[in-house]
Structure 1
Amino acid sequence: MSGLIVREALGERRFATADFPISVGGPGSTILVGGCLPGVHAYIGLHEEQLFVQPAEDAEVLLNGLRLTSSSWLRSGDVVNLGPSRLCIARQDGRFGEDFVARVDDGSSGNITAPPIIAAGAGIHGENDGESERIDIVDFRRSDADSTPRRFLVSPARAMMGIAAIVVAAALWFMFTAVSISVVTDPAQARLDLDGPAPIVRFGGHVLLRSGSYRIRAQQDGYASAHIDVTVTKEPNQRFRLELAKLPGRLQIDVPVSAKIEVDGKEQGVAPGEFELAAGRHTVSITAPRYRPFSDTLEIEGGGKTQVFSPQLEPDWALVEVKSAPPGAEVRVDGRRVGVTPLRTEILAGSHPLELRLAGFKSWTTDVQIEAGQPVSLGPITLGLPDGRLMLHSEPAGAGVSVAGVYRGQTPLQLELRPELPHTIVLTRPGYASASRQLSLRAGESRSLSIPLEGVFGEIELHAQPSDAQLYVDGEARGAANQTLRLVATTHEIVIRKAGFVDFKTSVTPRPGMRQIVEAKLPTVEQSRLAATPATVQTKDGLQLRRMPIGRFTMGSSRREPGRRANEAQREVEFKRSYYISVTEVTNAQFRRFRSSHRSGVIGQHTLDLDNQPVVGVSWGDAAQYCNWLSQQEGLSPAYESKGGRLVGVEPMTTGYRLPTDAEWEWAARYETATRLRRYPWGDTLPVVPRSGNYADATARLILQDVIPEYDDGFAASAPVGRFPPNPLGLHDMGGNVAEWVHDLYTVGLSTSQPAVDPMGPAEGRQHVIRGSSWRHSSVTDLRLSARDFGDAARNDIGFRIARYAQ
């Protein structure tokens, strides 16, 4: 017998004679069987090439169904049960003789049939003579011939010579039949052991042995043991190589705070701590709160050795010293209280808002830029006295408030004013005389002030047909329509009404010292088909359009009008087809629903790209494409088509969305009554009325060369649409904010003696008309409503509004 082969679920193991006895049982045993408690349950021994089994103390071991109480021989076919598992014993022919085979059947999962229970008294191999081979005692006597003993005498010298001869013969036989091999290991100094048929003779770096199967084992401190199974043939100078894997090393990382550790880009855990790493070069990255990220490349020796790494982490903060006068002010960083002055504190690198608060003093705020490791000293910061507070009212409310020429809002309004200084407060409201007051507040003082406003009146003379129609002003009945009214010089809603007729409605703004005449002819119900058309419509984007009154007017300007250009020739225009025009200019948000990538840009430090600002930076073609897209959204026929590579108006014009014509725009902008036109957006005379529109005001000096002196509309560049009062037709920003593309191709002037009816502009031209002033304009020429410009390219002060025919 050459040994024992154990076959388990994970493979096969071979045990040589030197490995006996072999422990069997639970964890801690050489042969591990499932379902057993920790510890050895039995031993398998070898005696004179015969296997036997011996139970451990107090262990329950069954052999072929009987409990073992002492050692017993093992034969092929025996079954040894240990708990729910078993060993099945068999014999097989091996390479070097007959081998015992022990198959391990794991019964921990409950899939093995339990052994039968054998009646008491049954025997086990070797425990009684019933199963052992019986040998009878034979009684024999010596014959006479053998009665005289014969003696053979051998001398010691002869015996020693015989033994020596045998040894020499065996050595010579081995020398002539053995094969020399060499084994190379990495590392070279590894210790070698060979298992296989004896004899094995080592000399120098070679091993002399007979051909056959061998297992070569190598061991070296700091390396994992390794082995190879080889077959040695009779070929000379056979060479075998065995490489040992170096054991990993341990890296002890010491850092001052808890830190996340990554090795070669993979998270390993938290330091301080010890990490097992393979031998070689590794990149160690350390991330710790309040410290800058750290990374370094280390060489790990491996071999089970421990290396200590103590990196110097750089703080990601700086020491900040804050002083105030007086001291004791609360210090807040990023809105969080960190202490009171004088204060030395640590603040992380970056930009942080820092605020000082002290009762009885005005808060102080700044942004501090912190660089890691660079100390910052602030102060001493002198805290100012708190502002005074003024609650300002006016009678009536809604008056504009300016302090030292700076617009602050509308009444009722709470003002914060610097203490112990005189302040001039001016109140203005359309239709009322301006009022001013001078006052001074103490530090922390609160005061309330109410200022009455004196009305400024103008006369409105009304002529209505039928003559018995009734008049309503701002919703209040005022009697017969034909009368003269004395009204405050602000916008009023005039309604003239009679049963069976369509109401007449208009907005009027009285002018002090100037009587205005309003003529109204109420149409009958039969004549009201046009009146049945909605006064307003709204796009799916929420953009409102108002229906404009039809009528007749003289377009252009008189040669004597100050600021007139040559392209403002006068001509008669008549509108017979009712049309709508948008109340405000198209905004960035509305345009971006059509073209999401559009950006209107900035000018200086002022953005032009807020959602509620008018879209700019668009060409005439961009505006026309938006109109067609809007028509498509609402199922309307497009107003523009492509011809010769450019967009042109459809003929005849559809009811789809389009740009207002040159004539439509001027009629809507200058309209005050059916018979009276405005020169400027606010009226007929200069100077510019406060808060009448967004022009080049004093706040735009940093971005514009020419501005309107002492005019402040509150916006250096474009304003949100609809921020300023509408004109008499309810349209916002017809003057100011941004100039606007219109439908017409540009020409200097059209000479005609006949009135133009619903004109759509010339058929030929390279550029398009631009109407209205913008936030860039301050001259008399540009502020007039009859002014005309032209172009095709986008500008940062040109936008557009939309129009469409009602029918």
Structure 2
Amino acid sequence: ESGTYQLFIDNPFCQPKEVTLEITRGEQTQLQVNLQPVNGLFRISSQPAGAMVFLDHRQIGLTPLQFNQDGDRYGLRVVLENYIETVEQVSITRARPTVSRNYNLELKKGTVRLDLEPEEGTILVNGIKRVGPLILDATVKHRLTYMKAGFYSSTQIVSLAADEERQISFRLKPETGKVEIISSPPATIWIGGKNFGISPVSTKLPAVAHMITFKKPGYRSIAKVVKPKGGTIQKLSVSLLTEYQARLKEAPREFTNIAGVKLKLYVIQDGITMGAPRSEKGQRANEFQRRINLTKPFYASLFEITNSQFAKFKSKKTVDTGNMPVTSVSWQEAAAFCNWLSVKEKMDPFYKTANGRVIGFDRLADGYRLLSEGEWEWLARKAGKTRQTLFAWGNDTVIPPDTANIADESAKGQVRFFVPNYNDGYSGVAPVGSFDRESSGLYDMAGNVSEWVHDVYLIVPPQAGTILHNPLGVQQGYAHVVKGANWRSGTITTLRPAFREGLTVGREDIGFRIGRYLYGGKNE
């Protein structure tokens, strides 16, 4: 179409230009337009300086430098001896007329291949752990260190030419140190699964960590880690504990078991004369005097077993709250509770059973059991005191206020005998722990409910002059011993810990507490 046109010509490398064009019908029109190139600027620097700059194969100069250049696309190349050549495509445009570059030139590389003896050690390059083959900067010094446990380390300084490949060898010398091992008592020394004989032992070992184990029958094994050092003598001395001593040292003084029963540990070497002489007021004929020694550490429950604790083993219909002592259970049920608890805590059951009934016991088992009659009487009469006493609270026949739940003034009319001028605040059974701890550290030994103990009830007088050690009685029998006063007890006879009954069935004023040996076996 003929006419006059305004043309706008744009090129990113040039200044834009506007021209007027006349077009005549039937004629060919040619237009030659010269655009003004953008006046661009290059600023080129490098680290290190002194690198040669090329622009499209044209040598420009050394860094740092600055030069003008028309707008266009260019190949920029930076070259420095022993450094990796840098190549980049750049453009000077009207939008970006300045090109600024600061190149951190990277040294050319060399390769180190390692020949190591022994193998599988650690190689450090300038203090940094590396894995071979090593690709290193050329023309600079590198500190190569090879190390392995049990050997002296070795260091070499290496400088490679550009593109050089070199093999470096390390031959480490073994490092050994002397170890002197002693123990009390002498024991067999095992190092890395090898028997080194009976201590004392003196030997040279590689300078690596060694597990040294001391073993002796009847004693707790001890393992120690030792790392010898070349040119030195290292001494290792240990004292072994018997299994008994070790477990005693580790044992908690009080703990709560899986059923929520709190127990206290008694470590004793003590004796007591059980029973009562004929001259003692309130004495009964079945209270034979027996001299016993207790030497085996045992736990005893702080409280009588409660309804809630017993219900975890066996549901029992009761209107009492969970913190009341469980009562009206048979000796067989109490023993079964002990065995159930032992199995729960992965201990050897103390009681042997057949067809659901106890037929004997394992005196070396570590499982739960009822307290022995001897333990119970020692706890009530001697534990925490300088000498054994007539009553749990002492020798005075007058009961101190708030001592125990027994037949007090409130029991008048409910029981045949009661203690006048005494009021404990309970007319019947009380929640466990309602009174202060006794001298033994336990609760309610002086009252609340009487308690089944482990022993079979016998009325055979002991042999004169006999001292029984950790007695547990015979394996089985018809009746079992019940110890301790309860909320119905109101006479000197029944309030004394020497009082004992032999029963075959439970009663509403009888419960139980549990114990166990610290560990099974002998005290050796």
Compute the TM-score of the two structures, normalised by the length of structure 1.
0.33
Please report how far the alpha carbon of residue 567 of structure 1 lies from its aligned counterpart in structure 2 after TM superposition: 1.3
Match of 2:428 among 717, 720, 741: 717
For the Cα contact (< 8 Å) 1:740–1:798, is it kept in 2? Answer: yes
- Give the letter aligned to residue 554 of structure 1: T
Counterpart of 2:262 (choices 524, 544, 547) is 544
> Which residue does 1:801 correspond to in 2?
513
Residue equivalent to 1:217? none
Partner of residue 188, structure 1: none
1:775 aligns with 2:493: no
Counterparts of 1:454-493 in structure 2, within 5 Å, are none
Asked whether 1:582 is paired with 2:267, we answer: no
Aligned to 1:728: 439
Read off the aligned partner of 1:787 and give its amino acid letter. F
* Structure 1 contact 681–692 (Cα < 8 Å) conserved: no
CA drift of 1:754 comes to 2.7
**Structure 2 residue matching 1:628: 3-state secondary structure:** helix
Q: Distance in 2 between matches of 1:750 and 1:600?
A: 40
Q: Structure 1, residues 731-758: CA drift from partner, whole Å, max 9, x if none?
A: 0000110000001100014413331111
Partner of residue 757, structure 1: 469
Distance 1:561 1:749 in 2: 20
What is the RMSD computed on CA atoms of the aligned residues? Answer: 2.1
Kept in 1, the 8 Å contact 2:305–2:511? The answer is yes
Contact 1:554–1:570 at 8 Å: present in 2 too? yes
2:317 to 588, 599, 616: 599
Q: Deviations over 1:130-158 (max 9, x none)?
A: xxxxxxxxxxxxxxxxxxxxxxxxxxxxx
Letter in 2 for 1:646: R
The range that moved more, 668-677 or 774-783, is: 668-677
- Write the mapping of 1:392-791 to structure 2, written as runs, cut at 5 A: 529=246, 530-550=248-268, 551-596=270-315, 598-600=316-318, 609-643=320-354, 646-673=357-384, 675-752=386-463, 753-791=465-503
Q: Is the 8 A contact 2:449 2:510 kept in 1?
A: yes
What CA distance in whole angstroms lies between the structure 1 residues aligned with 2:382 and 2:267?
Answer: 9
Map 1:150-299 onto structure 2 (within 5 A): none
CA change 1:673–1:584 in 2 (3 A) is closer
Q: Which has the larger radius of gyration?
A: 1
Shift of residue 667, structure 1, vs aligned partner: 0.8
Letter in 2 for 1:539: N
CA gap of 1:645–1:591, structure 2 versus 1, over 3 A, is closer
Q: Which moved more, 1:688-697 or 1:557-566?
A: 557-566
What is the one-letter code of the residue matched to 1:642?
T
How many residue pairs match? The answer is: 276
Aligned to 1:394: none
Alignment of 1:339-358 (within 5 A): none
Deviation at 1:762, TM superposition (A): 2.4
User: C-alpha distance in 2, partners of 1:634/1:672?
Assistant: 28
Given that 2:377 and 2:497 are in contact with CA atoms closer than 8 Å, whether structure 1 keeps it comes out as: yes
AA paired with 2:301?
S
Q: What CA distance in whole angstroms lies between the structure 2 residues aligned with 1:747 and 1:799?
A: 20
Cα distance 1:641–1:672, how it changes in 2: closer, same or farther (>3 A)? closer
| Amino acid in the other structure paired with 1:542 | G
C-alpha deviation, 1:526, in angstroms? 7.2
Displacement of 1:600: 4.0
SS in 1 for 2:497: coil
Relative to structure 2, which stretch is displaced further, 748-757 or 586-595?
748-757
Deviation at 1:555, TM superposition (A): 1.6
Please report how far the alpha carbon of residue 537 of structure 1 lies from its aligned counterpart in structure 2 after TM superposition.
2.6
**Preserved contact between residue 696 and residue 708 of structure 1 (Cα < 8 Å):** yes
The one-letter amino acid of 2:293's match is E
Sequence identity (%): 39
Q: 1:600, 1:706 → 2: CA distance? A: 27
Q: CA deviation at 1:532?
A: 4.3
Per-residue deviation at 1:729?
A: 2.0
After superposition, the Cα gap between the structure-2 partners of 1:706 and 1:553, relative to the gap in structure 1 and judged at 3 Å, is closer
Q: Matches of 1:575 and 1:531 in 2, distance apart?
A: 19
| Residues 560 and 549 of structure 1: CA distance in aligned 2, closer, same or farther (over 3 Å) | farther
